Amino acid sequence: MQANFWHDMWASGVVGFHQAEMNAFLTDYWQKLDLKGSEKVLVPLCGKSLDMLWLAKQGHRVLGVELSQQALDEFLTENGVTAQPIQHAHYCGYELENMTLLCGDFFRLSAEDCQDVKAVYDRAAIVALPPEMRARYVTHLRSILPKGTRYLMITMAYDQSRVSGPPFSVPEAEVRQLFSDVESIEKVHEVSFEHKGVPRTEMVFVIQT
């Protein structure tokens, strides 16, 4: 997906992926990562997700990365949060009490930016990327985050020939192939339903690298 696709989507105000409530898979399965609660959590392709507020409320420090300045501005205004603007080598952004929000391309994020990150929360991030970008996304994450990083990753699988993404179909086999060399991958939840007449399965993975 080109950056303009996302900028246009935010400008149009039609952001169907945004959830007005915390994600239930996050609140139900985050404890499976077995964290203390104070660790820094990376939220790639974060949009204006309320899940970042939930993670911060648990005591985590959140590092969100998002292409759209509008998304981050809406996150602040809609949640009545005050923040200091920051300027970074490759990003502009905001510093909040328990959160750093970087505005720019995720693929420019460095290991230095991710110092102390112990976990990743991926909801609507890997599935937002077309097939050729997904391997690059995982390779980049793995290259900037140390071994031992834990992931909560939510994906969905459906017949891609019947519907075009995003969100794209990222079936279990692909998740297992992308993370083939990790310590463990556990599918902790799976639910199937019909979406616009097409069967769809949503899955939640806990990954220990």
Ligand X SMILES: C[S@@+](CC[C@H](N)C(=O)[O-])C[C@H]1O[C@@H](n2cnc3c(N)ncnc32)[C@H](O)[C@@H]1O
Phi, psi of 34 (to 5 degrees): 55, 50
Helix/strand/coil for 44: strand
Closer of 123 and 134 to ligand X (Cβ)? 123
Closer of 62 and 124 to ligand X (Cβ)? 124
Closer of 65 and 204 to ligand X (Cβ)? 65
Among 30, 39, 60, 66, binds ligand X (CB under 6 A): 66
Q: How buried is 155 (Cβ within 10 angstroms: 0-12 exposed, 13-18 middle, 19+ buried)?
A: buried
Site size toward ligand X, by CB under 6 A: 20
Please report whether residue 68 would count as binding ligand X according to CB under 6 A.
yes
Among 125, 126, 170, 185, binds ligand X (CB under 6 A): 125
Contacts 24+ apart (CB under 8 A), 26-29: 26/51, 26/54, 26/55, 26/121, 26/123, 26/152, 27/54, 28/189, 29/152, 29/188, 29/189, 29/204, 29/206
Please report whether residue 114 would count as binding ligand X according to CB under 6 A.
no
Closer of 8 and 183 to ligand X (Cβ)? 8
Q: How far is the CB of 90 from ligand X (least distance, A)?
A: 11
Please report whether residue 30 would count as binding ligand X according to CB under 6 A.
no
Please report whether residue 47 would count as binding ligand X according to CB under 6 A.
yes
| CA–CA distance, 95 with 84 (Å, rounded to integer) | 5
Q: Tokens 């083939």 label which residue?
A: 180
Q: Tokens 């939930």 label which residue?
A: 54
Element (H, E) at 137: helix 131-144
Question: Which amino acid does the sequence have at 123?
Answer: R
Q: How far is the CB of 76 from ligand X (least distance, A)?
A: 15
Q: Between residue 155 and residue 184, which ones bind ligand X under the rule CB under 6 A?
A: 166
Q: How far is the CB of 33 from ligand X (least distance, A)?
A: 17
Please report whether residue 17 would count as binding ligand X according to CB under 6 A.
yes
Closer of 67 and 204 to ligand X (Cβ)? 67
Per CB under 6 A, residues contacting ligand X are 6, 17-18, 45-47, 49, 65-68, 71, 105-107, 123-125, 128, 166
